[in-house]
Structure 1
C-alpha cells in the first residue's frame, strides 16, 4: 500500500489536500469523506487517487465556513452531472456570508463609536511627545533576563505594527516587559533600582520598543552592573556604561496585558523540562493549517491532570486535553530558562500558561488549538 498503488495515507492526504489529520478523521466519522480502505489490523486509513480532489474541495468549503449539513450535500452532488443543487447551496452560503459581513460591519462601527467615546486605559499611559522625560535605573542582567523571557512572542506581522515590539511598562518599583503576537503572550519583570535626578516618581509610564531596537538594547546588557532607561517624548534610550541604543517608540495601541492575564484557575502540573521537551519532539503531532494565512504547523495534544503528569498524546479525553502549536510551546519552554516549570490548563478556550515556580512575575500564555477527533 502507498504511492505505488496511488493510495495516500492520512498524513499524505493531509499534506496534499490542505485538510488537517484531525479534520480528515472528523469527515470520515461524519461519512463525508470515507477512506477507500482501512487496514483491519492497524486501523490506518488509506485514500484512493480520486479522493484528493474531493478532499481539496472539502478544504475550501471548510475554510469558507460552510455548515456540515450543506457540505454533505455539496460533496454528494459534486460527482453528478446535475450541478444545480451544488450551485444553489454555494449561492445560499455566499449570501449568508455577505449578510454576516454586513452585521459584522455594523457591530464594528458600534465598537468604534464606543472607543471614540472613552479613552482606553492603555493609550492614556503611553509616552508621547508632550510627556516629561523619565529616567530610571535597572539591573543590567535583570533586564537582559526579562527580555530573553519575552522576545520570542513579539509579532512579525506587518499588518499589526503595534505588536511588533516589546512593551516596557514601568510602575512603582517594577519594570515589566511584555510581548504578544495574538497567539501567545509573554511577561517578565525586573526591579527599578533608582531614578535619574529624581525625575521618576513611580507613576505608570509605558513605551513600545520596536523589536530591532529591543534587540540592540539587549546586546548592550552584560552580566553585571546597571543600565539607565530614558523615555523622552516619543523616543526611548537605554544606556549601559559608555554605550547606548535608542530610537523612536513603536506604534501605540498595545493591548492591556493585565486584563489578558486574568484567567480562571486551571489544572496545574509541574513538568521536568528536558524530559518534556524530548516527549514533544518524539511524540505524535497533528498537522493543521492556520486559517488566517494558510500557514501549516504541527499541533501537540497534551493531557494535563491537576498535580501532574503532563503527557503528549495521540488521543486524550476532552476534559483533560489541550492542543497547542508545538513550535510555540518549545520556544516558550526555552525562553522560560528553567529545568522545572509549571503548566496550567483549563477547559475550552482558556490559554495554556507556562510559569516558573520561583518567579511569579515571569510567565507566558499560548492560545489553544481546536482539536477534533
Structure 2
C-alpha cells in the first residue's frame, strides 16, 4: 500500500514514516527505484502501531527498537522500566517546581508543630488507606492536616470510608493551621519520616516542609480543592444502637475466607455471623461482646476490610446505627484512630 494509506492505517504521519525508515525502525516493504515512492505491507501495520504507541509514551528510539525486537516477557520488562523512569522524573520535577514556587514567593515558612517521626509515619499510612483517585475529584487523594493548640488531626476520605487520627505533638502548635496535602507525595516520604526521631512541619505557599535533623528536608504540595466537610458529617451521626467488640484477627480472617465482593454481618447475642452476600461460602460465627439491638448490615469488602485492618490493637469496636448508616470502627482501648465505613443496601431476607 502507498505511504499515505499506510499512514492512515497505522496512525503515523507520512513524515514520521520516512523518519522511522531512515532510522531503521520501520523500512518500507518496497521502494520504487524510478520514483522513490515507498510502499508498505499489511503485515507491517502491527509494528507501526506499536511504534506509534511507544513514542506516545515518550520512549526513546533506541528503547523503542529494543521493545519491538524483543519477546513478550522482555518487552514487558523494558516497558516497566521506562514507565518507572518517566513517573520518577515527573515526581522529581513536580517537587522541584513546588520548591521553586515557594522560593519565588519569598515568603518565610510558618512553623506548625513537631511530631515524633515514627508515630507520624504510622498515622499517615493508616489514614491514607481511605484515599482514592477519582476523576474530577483530586482532593479525595489528599490527607487533611489540622493543627490546633492541643493536637494534630489527620483525615482522609474516599466517600465510602473516612479515617481520622489525632496525634499529640511533641511541641504544642504555636497557632492553628489546616491544609490538604498531596497523598502520593506523603507516601513517598513516609520511609524518610519513620527514620527521623522528630519531624517539624512548616507551611509555605502551596505546600508544607517536613524538616528533619541530619536528613534531607521533604516538601509536599497542598491541594487547592476544598476538602469535604467531614466535621459536619461527624456531628450529624445518629445515635449508636448496637456496639460490638471483637477480635481484630478473627474478624479479618473471616473476611478473608468469605472473599466475596459484598460481606454481610449479622450482629446477635455474643457473636457476629460473617457471610458472603451471595452465599458462596459457609457462614463464620465469631464470638464477640455485643450490646444493643440485633442487626444485619452489608458492606463492600474493599470498604470494610481496610477499615478493620488499620485499627490499632488486638480488638476492634464497631458502633452501629442501623443497616443504612455509617459504622464507626476503632480500637477497643485506644481512640486516636477512627474510621467510618458506609454500608451498602441491605437485603433483609438474607
Same fold (TM over 0.5): yes
Aligned mate of 2:222, from 240, 245, 249: 249
Q: Is the 8 A contact 1:179 1:185 kept in 2?
A: yes
What SS is found at the alignment partner of 1:371?
Answer: coil
Q: Is the 8 A contact 1:268 1:305 kept in 2?
A: no
1:335 correspondence with 2:310:
yes
- How many Å separate the matches in 1 of 2:230 and 2:108? 22
Q: Is the 8 A contact 1:167 1:178 kept in 2?
A: yes
Equivalent residue runs for 1:90-105 within 5 Å: none
Report the Cα offset of residue 272 of structure 1. Answer: 0.8
After superposition, the C-alpha distances for 1:275-319 in whole angstroms (9 at most, x for unaligned) are 11121222374xxxxxxxxxxxx110001247x422213689x96
Matched length: 226
TM-score relative to the length of structure 1 = 0.56
1:225 correspondence with 2:188:
no
Q: Is the 8 A contact 2:244 2:317 kept in 1?
A: yes
CA change 1:325–1:257 in 2 (3 A) is same
Larger Rg: 2
1:299 correspondence with 2:262:
yes
Q: Is the 8 A contact 2:312 2:330 kept in 1?
A: no
Aligned mate of 2:113, from 105, 111, 136: 136
Equivalent residue runs for 1:209-358 within 5 Å: 209-222=181-194, 225-241=197-213, 242-262=215-235, 263=237, 264-283=239-258, 285=260, 298-305=261-268, 308-313=270-275, 320-358=295-333
CA change 1:216–1:339 in 2 (3 A) is same
What SS is found at the alignment partner of 1:214?
Answer: helix
* Structure 2: runs of 5+ lacking an equivalent: 1-104, 278-282, 284-292
Q: Which residue of 2 aligns with 1:288?
A: none
Q: Which residue of 1 aligns with 2:80?
A: none
What SS is found at the alignment partner of 1:360?
Answer: coil
Q: Is the 8 A contact 1:273 1:333 kept in 2?
A: yes
Q: Which runs of 4 or more aligned residues in structure 1 lie more than 3 Å from their structure 2 counterparts after TM superposition?
A: 129-132, 313-316
Q: Is the 8 A contact 1:152 1:331 kept in 2?
A: yes
CA change 1:168–1:191 in 2 (3 A) is same
Report the Cα offset of residue 350 of structure 1. Answer: 1.2
Q: Is the 8 A contact 2:266 2:272 kept in 1?
A: yes
Q: Specify which structure has the bigger relative contact order, considering alpha-carbon pairs within 8 angstroms and separated by 6 or more residues.
A: 1
CA change 1:147–1:284 in 2 (3 A) is closer
Q: Which residue of 1 aligns with 2:143?
A: 166
- Kindly report the root-mean-square deviation, in angstroms, between the aligned alpha carbons of the 2 structures: 2.6
Q: Which residue of 2 aligns with 1:183?
A: 160
TM-score relative to the length of structure 2 = 0.59
After superposition, the C-alpha distances for 1:38-70 in whole angstroms (9 at most, x for unaligned) are xxxxxxxxxxxxxxxxxxxxxxxxxxxxxxxxx
